[in-house]
């Protein structure tokens, strides 16, 4: 499932001009520091829509009906055009004001898997840009800040 998200991040970076400066992909959420020259909200909305369809298709293929049932229960009643709710509605963008804020957000993002007890060191979570920042191999190459 992580590969679906990674592959879509690569697509949006390579084909939709999405710049990603930091990320972590967890089992139940994702954090990004990202930018887009025109409309970041639209790009993120499209990313969420497309990945939801791919992830739900994979869940069906893998016969993960218990997860699909949870996604069905979480769907808002007014959403008549979909059967499941994979992502939380909307996104929660925060404009980064300065270098200190950027560094604090990167640290918060990278610390997520440690806080959850999944790893003891952020660099050990392969679905995170912590590895990029340390010059280690990573599943996704982030954009460099000049």
The mean-pLDDT minimum among 21-25, 100-104, 141-145 falls in 141-145
Task: For residue 100, give its domain range.
Answer: 2-133
Answer yes or no: is 67 within a domain: yes
Answer yes or no: is 30 within a domain: yes
- CATH label of the domain that carries residue 99: 3.30.70.1290
139 membership: H or E segment, kind and range: none
Question: Using one digit for the tens of pLDDT, what is the confidence trace for 27-70?
Answer: 878 999 999 998 898 898 888 888 888 887 887 787 767 776 67
Question: Using one digit for the tens of pLDDT, what is the confidence trace for 58-98?
Answer: 877 877 677 766 766 666 555 556 666 666 666 777 889 99
List Cα–Cα distances, 54 to 29, 50, 70, 107, 144, in angstroms: 16, 6, 17, 30, 29
Closest of 119, 140, 143 to residue 5, by C-alpha: 140
Sign of the CA dihedral running 13, 22, 129, 44: negative
The arithmetic mean of pLDDT across residues 7-13, rounded, is 92
Mean of pLDDT over the chain: 85
Note whether 56 and 72 are within 8 A (CB).
Answer: no
List Cα–Cα distances, 2 to 27, 60, 105, 110, in angstroms: 8, 16, 22, 16
The arithmetic mean of pLDDT across residues 7-22, rounded, is 93
Answer yes or no: is 146 within a domain: no
Answer yes or no: is 49 within a domain: yes
Residue 116 pLDDT > 70: yes
Answer yes or no: is 138 within a domain: no
> Does the pTM of the predicted model rise above 0.85?
no
Answer yes or no: is 36 within a domain: yes
86 compared with 106, residue with greater pLDDT: 106
In the chain, how many domains are there? 1
Answer yes or no: is 64 within a domain: yes
Residue 21 pLDDT > 90: yes
Answer yes or no: is 23 within a domain: yes
Q: How far apart are the first and last CA of the chain?
A: 32
């Amino acid at each position: 499932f992580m590969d679906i998200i990674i592959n879509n991040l690569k697509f949006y970076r390579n084909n939709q001009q999405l710049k990603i400066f930091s990320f972590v992909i967890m089992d139940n959420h994702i954090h990004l520091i990202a930018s887009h020259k025109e409309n970041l909200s639209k790009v993120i909305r499209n990313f969420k829509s497309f990945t939801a369809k791919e992830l739900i298709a994979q869940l069906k293929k893998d016969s993960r009906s218990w997860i699909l049932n949870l996604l069905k229960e979480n769907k808002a009643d007014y959403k008549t055009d979909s059967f499941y709710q994979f992502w939380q509605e909307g996104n929660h963008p925060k404009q980064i004001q300065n270098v200190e804020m950027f560094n604090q957000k990167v640290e918060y993002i990278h610390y997520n898997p440690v806080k959850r007890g999944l790893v003891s060191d952020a660099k050990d979570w392969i679905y995170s840009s912590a590895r990029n920042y340390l010059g280690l191999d990573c599943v996704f190459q982030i954009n460099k800040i000049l």
